[in-house]
């Protein structure tokens, strides 16, 4: 059996969360109340390292709820991995952050979705002040990368623009802006999702700010769409943001949920069948199964309705998650597609990233940020 490479993992240490965000993509607190044991997590990290793992993202739920988080970070750091802890920032204090730093943590991602009123409205009372306090504590650490992320919707776009300026002044290293998608708890948020031209306008406005003002902070935004004035990206991307086409043939990423279920993308992790479960199989077996699984082979083909399109080489049917959300069928074309002679744009994987500082586009944040 050939050993396949696994470069990046999102590992859900727990699906419990102290917050109840209305757009939570995995429906935290609602699906898998029990979490994997410390020993199982060690086994996963060890095997993944042998399979080529470089990027380990510890997420949830809220991963800082685990009392053994320090042990997990220390173990992963000894494997030589790049570890990113993804947190809402509301229950970690400076003392706990220092302990995690001493264990080997060198990268943190904290969620801020708007100024205090907006953020507290969608995340919970008092959360903004606690998260900002953690941001300030993180900036005091040496050899540490602090990344802040915002989920962008129509109702907070103006605040995100101003947050970019604020975070740049504060000295934050990376600002990641996610295109809000109606999945998980957010399935009823369709009216708040950006249309293509709205997203282009928003992205261009941020681009102008980054170009004209002195930005030492890297700003990474999800691409969302390719418009008729842009070149083809075919063959240049790596990582999960390459899209669903041939999904089992070119991915080097796994998402591992709190119960051990394994998926290729968050858009599949609520409603699609898992590739398998790590309580029954190991990572290598699931990498092999991934290439032959009937469901994922089917969603990896270009939809029949797209085969005659002259832009198929770039789009390849778009996001199957959006097809499932809006059409109830994983194997249909992305409903965001819009082709007219006077105004052409096509959807791309919602996870595809663009670095506004350099213009580099990547299938992952790491590729977009790479110099």
Any idea what the Cα angle at residue 207 is, between residues 320 and 336, rounded to 5°? Answer: 20
Q: pTM for the complete prediction?
A: 0.94
Q: What was the pLDDT predicted at 311?
A: 78
- For 150, counting Cβ atoms within 10 Å of its Cβ (0-12 exposed, 13-18 middle, 19+ buried), the class is buried
* Region of residue 27 (left: phi > 0; alpha: psi -120 to 50; beta: else): left
231-287 pLDDT, tens per residue?
Answer: 566 556 777 787 887 665 666 899 999 999 999 999 999 999 999 999 999 999 999
Question: For 37-66, b where at least 16 C-beta lie within 10 A, e where not — what string?
Answer: eeeebbebbeebbebebbbbbbbbbbbbbb
The domains located in the chain, with CATH, are: 8-223+238-302+351-369 (3.20.20.70)
Q: Which of 208-217, 219-228, 238-247 has the lowest mean pLDDT?
A: 238-247
Output 250 or 6, whichever has higher pLDDT. 6
The closest alpha carbon to 10, from 370, 364, 371, belongs to: 364
Percent of the chain residues topping a pLDDT of 90: 77
Q: What is the SS3 assignment for 44?
A: helix
> Which spans in 16-55 are helix H?
38-50
pLDDT in tens, 28-84: 999 888 899 999 999 999 999 999 999 999 999 999 999 999 999 999 999 999 999
């Amino acid at each position: 059996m050939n050993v396949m490479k696994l470069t990046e993992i999102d590992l859900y240490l727990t699906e419990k969360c102290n917050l109840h965000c209305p757009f939570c993509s995995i429906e935290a607190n609602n699906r898998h109340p029990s979490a994997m044991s410390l020993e199982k997590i060690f086994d996963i990290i060890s095997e993944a390292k042998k399979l080529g793992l470089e990027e380990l993202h510890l997420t949830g739920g809220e991963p800082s709820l685990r009392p053994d988080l320090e042990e997990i970070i220390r173990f992963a750091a000894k494997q030589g991995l790049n570890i990113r802890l993804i947190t809402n920032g509301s229950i970690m204090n400076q003392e706990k952050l220092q302990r995690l730093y001493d264990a080997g943590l060198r990268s943190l991602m904290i969620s801020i979705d708007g100024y205090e009123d907006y953020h507290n409205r969608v995340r919970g009372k008092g959360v903004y002040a606690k998260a900002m306090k953690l941001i300030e504590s993180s900036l005091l650490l040496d050899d540490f990368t602090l990344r802040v992320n915002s989920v962008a919707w129509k109702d907070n776009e103006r605040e995100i623009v101003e947050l970019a300026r604020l975070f740049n002044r504060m000295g934050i290293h990376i600002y990641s802006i996610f295109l809000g998608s109606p999945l998980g708890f957010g399935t009823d948020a369709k009216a708040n999702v950006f249309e293509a031209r709205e997203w282009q306008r928003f992205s261009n406005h941020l681009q102008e700010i980054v170009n004209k003002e002195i930005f030492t902070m890297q700003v990474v935004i999800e691409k969302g769409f390719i418009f008729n004035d842009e070149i083809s990206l075919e063959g240049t991307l790596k990582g999960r943001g390459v899209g669903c086409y041939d999904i089992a043939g070119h991915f080097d990423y796994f998402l591992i949920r709190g119960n051990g279920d394994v998926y290729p993308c968050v858009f599949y992790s609520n409603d699609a069948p898992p590739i398998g479960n790590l309580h029954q199989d190991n990572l290598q077996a699931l990498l092999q199964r991934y290439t032959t699984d009937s469901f994922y082979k089917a969603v990896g083909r270009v939809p029949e309705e797209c085969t005659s399109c002259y832009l198929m080489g770039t789009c390849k049917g778009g996001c199957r998650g959006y097809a499932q959300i809006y059409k109830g069928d994983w194997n249909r074309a992305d409903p965001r597609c819009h082709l007219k002679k006077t105004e052409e744009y096509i959807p791309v994987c919602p996870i595809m990233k663009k670095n506004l500082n350099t213009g580099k586009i990547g299938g992952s944040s790491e590729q977009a940020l790479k110099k």
